[in-house]
Amino acid sequence: MEGRHCRHLPVTYICTMKIDERLSLCPVNEKSIGLIVSLIPVAVYFFLLLRYCYNFPFYDDYIAVLEAVSRWQYASSFNEKLSLLVEQHNEHRIVYIHVISLLDNFLRGSVHFTDLVWCGNISLLLVLFLLYKSAESISEVSMFWLLPVVLLLFQLQSWDNTYWAMASLANFGIHGWVISAIYLASRRERWAWAGAISATLLALGTIGSGLFLIPVVLAVWGVQKRFRELLLGGLVLIIAVLLYFKGYQQPEGYPSLAHTLKHADWAQLLLFWGAFLGSNTYHPALSFVAPLMGWCGIGWFLWLTFRLYFQKNPVLYGVLGFLVLTALAVALNRYGRGIEGAYPSRYRMNSSLFLAVTYLTVVELTAVKWKSRVVMAGSAATLALYVMSVYVYLPRIKNNYELRVADHWLFRHQMPIAGSYRLKDANEMLQTSVKEGLFIPPPLPENLFKDSVERKQLSVGLPVAGDTSLKNNAAEYDIDEVKIVDKQVVIRGWVRFKKAGLTLNEVYIFVNTEKGYPTLFQKRYDLFEKYHDARYQDTGFLGAVPLSEWPKSPKGWHLLVEANNGQRSWLSPK
């Protein structure tokens, strides 16, 4: 039957079918296998989220979530509630964060920070899905074409966003709204226009960088010569911008744009701009790599503009345009604080997305015979970056979990918590939230302060040098507090290794030369502000020793500190 049908087909059609078969480099079953393998990092990411996410507020969560929901409940009029929703937080209008917090409180009867964290992280799945839809034609090239994108989006460099309620909603949520708005703006269905406007308004109400989505969305309609959408959309978005800046106050410590341009150090500003976009590749020993990668990406974006790539794929081009504008705005706003301001974990999703979309554009424009090789090279490079991120940042994720748990323990024992040092009344705010039923702390984990360990267990395969830090001046440290709490001696302090690249990995409290007690990690933002050095942030510890084990002599105990390279040193009590 098939043969009889084929005899009636034109020769040119048969030839075209054969050519199409040759170009279909990746069979359907291989595509499915490749997609499943590519999604393994997503499963790992959410497994770690489930394991290390802890229901306790941190830093801005106290103001942006707890205080905002509490004030909403006591607001008596519609105007008062509306003003609370759009209230300025630093340089942002965080309407989206307020709405999600209020909705969570309404549905659950109290605020669960784990709910907010998961809601923020779900945005990454939306970003991945829309990138897949926007570059689906590449799937014919290789079964693993999506793997570099997944490895970049779901690596651990953005751990600060991943486990922090406000940051996950803001810094992940914004990218979900951005790619949704651009994707919908590029579609010609009538409903898509309303969706694009809605997503743009949501981006504007998430964080300040949503402002830079507006020219991108309008440009999509302009390039497609859809002047009706451009006119109506422009009118709606102009009104939204005017409302955004109504009553806007320039945050203290943030220079105005006019002041920045007048006194700009252009070399440092341009360096920051590139470093922000290339921050995924940052390493202290190779500090030139991140700015170089960022500027290579900016150069590629300019070349895409010259080649009119926005006509071929407006979604990918639009996302790149948004990220380039965002990076420039951050550079103008923060470059004066030093190049280190380009590298915080909470900003690195911008770099991850920038590199992922750049990779997709490179593959799309590469000649057919070279595409599979580009995918292979991209997979190898991003896999190496992913493995390195697991090695470097998994310990920080564990420390982040310990920080929340330690804050919870301190709160239960009416001691100042460390995760909101700027709020002198944080404990009181949290206590009020608990009394009002606004927040219900989870049970503390069992065996919070782990069982003691023997010195010989620590010595296996790793050197323990006596008093090296004192003789060689390798570390500085201090003990802030020694206090008896619930038949335990609680010790708080900090340790910082002076050698470049060394960070604090663990602190043990030894009550004799053979038995030691592990401690919990604490942030030390107070030291960061005191010394204006980011290396002081991750230096704190909180530990407890049973009172029955505590030595009678004031100097009968020591600290054994471990660096990230395995170096261990004894520190005498102060």
Q: How confident is the model at residue 502 (pLDDT cuts 50, 70, 90)?
A: confident
Of all helices (H) and strands (E), which one includes residue 86?
none
Query: pLDDT for 37-71, tens place per residue?
Result: 888 999 999 999 999 999 999 888 988 899 999 99
Buried b (16+ CB within 10 A) or exposed e, 380-394: ebbeebbeebeeebe
Position 451 scores a pLDDT of: 61
Amino acid (1-letter code) at residue 388: M
Residue 319: CB atoms within 10 Å: 29
- On the question of pLDDT at 469 being above 90, the answer is no
- On the question of pLDDT at 2 being above 70, the answer is no
Task: Please give the structure tokens belonging to residue 142.
Answer: 């290789």
**Closest listed residue to residue 520, CA positions, set 448, 419, 445, 569:** 448
Residue 52: CB atoms within 10 Å: 18
pTM of the model: 0.86
- CB distance 562 to 516 below 8 Å: no
Side-chain-side CA neighbours of 466 within 13 Å: the count stands at 2
Residue 532: CB atoms within 10 Å: 10
Percent of the chain scored above 70 by pLDDT?
Answer: 87
Task: Please give the structure tokens belonging to residue 493.
Answer: 């302090």
Q: Give the Cα separation of 484 and 92 in Å (integer).
A: 43
Query: pLDDT for 475-488, tens place per residue?
Result: 788 888 888 888 88
Query: pLDDT for 533-557, tens place per residue?
Result: 878 888 889 888 888 888 877 777 8
CA torsion angle 71 248 529 507 (round to 10): 50
Position 471 scores a pLDDT of: 38
Domains of the chain: 115-399 (no CATH), 453-571 (2.60.40)
Q: Give the Cα separation of 8 and 427 in Å (integer).
A: 83
